[in-house]
Amino acid sequence: MVDAVLEDFRTAPISDMEKALFAFVEKINRKSTDIAQADIDAMKAAGWSEEAIYDAITVCALFRFYNTWIDATGVSDMSSDAYLASGVRMAEHGYGQ
């Protein structure tokens, strides 16, 4: 399912509610200055709450910031082995360890 969403969320086997979210997120990432009340209304009509819409906007904005910061500072990505070890650690101990 993840591969299908990454390929094209519009044709992926996900709910219409999820498709609305991905369309909204896409617009945030491509044309955030064009977000209008109609976009918010469409999200609400799809079943999303104001809190969820706010969260979607916030997550997109934070990841854009993080990616810009990483690119500009030259911070390098972790290796596949490091990601695997990090995932195992978080699964066993949570985020606090």
Sequence-distant (≥ 6) Cβ neighbours of residue 64 within 8 angstroms: 29
Instruction: Give the pair of three-digit tokens for residue 31.
Output: 């044309």
Q: What is the CATH number of the domain that holds 22?
A: 1.20.1290.10
What is the C-alpha to C-alpha distance for residues 3 and 45, in angstroms, rounded to an integer? Answer: 27
The total of structural domains in the chain comes to: 1
- Count CA atoms within 13 Å of residue 40 on its CB side: 12
Domain enclosing residue 14, as ranges: 2-93
pLDDT tens digits, the chain, 97 residues: what are they?
Answer: 889 998 999 999 999 999 999 999 999 999 999 999 999 999 999 999 999 999 999 999 999 999 999 999 988 888 899 999 989 998 988 876 5
- Entry pTM: 0.74
